[in-house]
């Protein structure tokens, strides 16, 4: 797709001044060379990873972050979201690795020196082995340890971070790790799920208070939130009452419970990770299987078989606007190795983000998932989400066409008309 269309301002769907244009990554998915967390063990167990790959040296972002940020900068990004790898910083209970602490400082300085804002995630799914061995989030001291880590990060990086995410997608973690058991620790237990849910709620609240206590000044209040995977639900059969009821239940259970229990006063903003639109159909086949999610019937799919529905991001944003907090889209993207679908997805979705802003929603930024191809958890390396393609044999980076499309949008702080036209839309 052609991306170098020089636009005139009046033909651009302009975003608010100061809008954050970024990409997201998480440490374990890009860094490589770490064997101190639970995932590095999990990946090696037979049958855990669909394509049987282990993260290994991964993209070696750990050493090549400078090169990667140069690329991000060349595509006019003004922000980046990343996470620290807890097991590097605290390889044993209570023992800090100051070399690693200094490493992440250099990483964030590299972003700042390129004029990019930093959104830092404290915890993105991976646990140090010592913490996992104690029972992970079911351990009675879990919150205490998490807060100790958060305190260190706030003290060390407070001057570099523009926005804090305490935990990434708590409900997804619960489902994968304690519901269907396809992520470590591989449990299937309702009791454990509940315990971990409340542990994460407590951990978030405590971390929220800790960051504010350490970093707030009379002049500046820091911004702290979570990244929530938001799923939009719709009825499979619009006029069937039972489908409608299940949509409401699913929306409340999946999208709202964390905010309900943690209280809206412990969120300065709402981070939305958006990937899924689920159509729900009532199928009373048994107590455990009352409704059924219908995917992909006559709809476009990603390489991982996920339904693509860029437009539905509008409903995701409007749904979360009920909390009347600033919103960042903290993740949004698609597994699409040949890049045939990503450019259109980006433009279509951003058009909807713009529509939400026009409707009065305070959306402050958009972070595409992801800057580069990475390790997609139990799908291994097969899900290629990057604006930049990575050759895992040579580690060579090659920007995809979508990187240029996104770059054009970042540069313009808006969607140039020529890009709207390429996706079959006019300026709305």
List residues binding ligand BGC (CB under 6 A).
26, 29, 168-169, 172, 229, 273, 275, 331, 369, 376
Beta carbon of residue 319, minimum distance to ligand BGC (angstroms, whole number)? 17
Beta carbon of residue 3, minimum distance to ligand BGC (angstroms, whole number)? 24
Report the Cα–Cα distance between both ends of the chain, in Å, rounded: 21
Beta carbon of residue 378, minimum distance to ligand BGC (angstroms, whole number)? 10
3-state class (DSSP) for residue 13: strand
Asked if residue 371 lies in contact with residue 116, where contact means CB atoms within 8 angstroms, the answer is no
**CA torsion sign, 14 to 15 to 17 to 21?**
negative
Q: Please give the torsion angle defined by the CA atoms of residues 189, 190, 195 and 196, in that order, rounded to the nearest 10 degrees.
A: 70
Any idea what DSSP says for residue 264? G
Asked, as a colleague might, if the bond just before 189 is cis with ω within 30 of 0, I would say no
Beta carbon of residue 374, minimum distance to ligand BGC (angstroms, whole number)? 7
DSSP string, 326-360: -EEEEEE----TT-SSHHHHHHHHHHHHHHHHHTT
> In the complex with ligand BGC, which residue's Cβ is closer, 303 or 311?
303
Beta carbon of residue 165, minimum distance to ligand BGC (angstroms, whole number)? 10
Beta carbon of residue 370, minimum distance to ligand BGC (angstroms, whole number)? 7
> In the complex with ligand BGC, which residue's Cβ is closer, 82 or 172?
172
> In the complex with ligand BGC, which residue's Cβ is closer, 65 or 123?
123
Beta carbon of residue 229, minimum distance to ligand BGC (angstroms, whole number)? 5
Residue 427 phi/psi, 5-degree rounding, is -70, 125
For tokens 């939400």, what's the residue? 356
> In the complex with ligand BGC, which residue's Cβ is closer, 229 or 336?
229
> In the complex with ligand BGC, which residue's Cβ is closer, 29 or 235?
29
Beta carbon of residue 26, minimum distance to ligand BGC (angstroms, whole number)? 5
Asked if residue 125 lies in contact with residue 28, where contact means CB atoms within 8 angstroms, the answer is yes
Which residues touch 20 (CB under 8 Å, ≥6 apart)?
A: 78, 79, 117, 119, 328, 364, 365, 366, 367
> In the complex with ligand BGC, which residue's Cβ is closer, 29 or 143?
29
Beta carbon of residue 47, minimum distance to ligand BGC (angstroms, whole number)? 20
Beta carbon of residue 28, minimum distance to ligand BGC (angstroms, whole number)? 9
Which residues touch 129 (CB under 8 Å, ≥6 apart)?
A: 36, 37, 38, 41, 87
CA distance 246 to 241: 9
- The token pair at 402 is 């979508």
Beta carbon of residue 328, minimum distance to ligand BGC (angstroms, whole number)? 14
**CA torsion sign, 246 to 252 to 257 to 260?**
negative
For tokens 């009352």, what's the residue? 290
> In the complex with ligand BGC, which residue's Cβ is closer, 7 or 83?
83
Burial class (CB in 10 A: 0-12, 13-18, 19+), 280: buried
> In the complex with ligand BGC, which residue's Cβ is closer, 331 or 412?
331
Asked if residue 327 lies in contact with residue 362, where contact means CB atoms within 8 angstroms, the answer is yes
Write the CA distances from 420 to 8, 252, 346, 391, 416, integer angstroms.
Answer: 14, 34, 10, 31, 7
Asked, as a colleague might, if the bond just before 72 is cis with ω within 30 of 0, I would say no
> In the complex with ligand BGC, which residue's Cβ is closer, 352 or 376?
376
> In the complex with ligand BGC, which residue's Cβ is closer, 72 or 371?
371
> In the complex with ligand BGC, which residue's Cβ is closer, 259 or 385?
385
What is the C-alpha radius of gyration for the chain, rounded to an integer number of angstroms? 21
């Amino acid at each position: 797709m052609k991306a170098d269309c020089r636009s005139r301002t009046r033909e651009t769907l302009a975003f608010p001044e100061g809008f954050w244009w970024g990409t997201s990554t998480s440490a374990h998915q890009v860094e490589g060379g770490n064997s101190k967390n639970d995932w590095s063990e999990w990946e090696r167990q037979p049958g855990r990873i669909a394509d049987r790959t282990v993260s290994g040296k991964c993209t070696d972002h750990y050493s090549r972050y400078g090169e990667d940020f140069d690329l991000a900068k060349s595509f006019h990004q003004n922000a980046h979201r990343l996470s620290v790898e807890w097991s590097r910083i605290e390889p044993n209970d209570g023992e800090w690795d100051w070399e690693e602490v200094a490493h992440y400082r250099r990483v964030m300085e590299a972003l700042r020196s390129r004029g990019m804002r930093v959104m830092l995630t404290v915890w993105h799914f991976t646990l140090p082995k010592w913490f996992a061995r104690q029972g992970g989030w079911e351990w009675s001291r879990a919150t205490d340890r998490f807060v100790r880590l958060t305190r260190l990060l706030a003290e060390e990086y407070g001057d570099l971070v523009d926005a804090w995410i305490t935990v990434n997608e708590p409900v997804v973690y619960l489902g994968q790790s304690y519901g269907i058991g396809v992520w470590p620790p591989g449990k299937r237990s309702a009791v454990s799920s509940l315990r971990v849910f409340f542990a994460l709620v407590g951990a978030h609240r405590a971390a929220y208070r800790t960051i504010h206590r350490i970093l707030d000044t009379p002049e500046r209040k820091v911004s702290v939130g979570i990244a929530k995977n938001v799923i939009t639900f719709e009825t499979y059969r619009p006029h069937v009452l039972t489908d409608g009821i299940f949509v409401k239940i699913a929306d409340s259970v999946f999208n709202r419970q964390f905010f309900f229990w943690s209280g809206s006063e412990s969120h300065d903003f709402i981070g939305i990770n958006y990937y899924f639109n689920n159509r729900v159909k009532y199928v009373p086949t048994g107590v455990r299987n009352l409704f059924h999610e219908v995917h992909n019937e006559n709809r476009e799919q990603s390489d991982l078989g996920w339904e693509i529905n860029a437009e539905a991001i509008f409903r995701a944003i409007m749904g979360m606007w009920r909390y009347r907090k600033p919103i960042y889209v903290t993740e949004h993207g698609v597994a699409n190795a040949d890049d045939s679908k990503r450019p259109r997805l980006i433009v279509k979705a951003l058009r909807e983000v713009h529509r939400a802003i026009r409707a009065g929603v305070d959306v402050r930024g958009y972070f595409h998932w992801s800057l580069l191809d990475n390790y997609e958890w139990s799908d291994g390396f097969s899900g290629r989400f990057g604006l930049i393609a990575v050759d895992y044999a040579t580690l060579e980076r090659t920007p995809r066409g979508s990187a240029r499309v996104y770059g054009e949008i970042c540069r313009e702080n808006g969607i140039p008309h020529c890009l709207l036209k390429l996706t079959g839309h006019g300026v709305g």
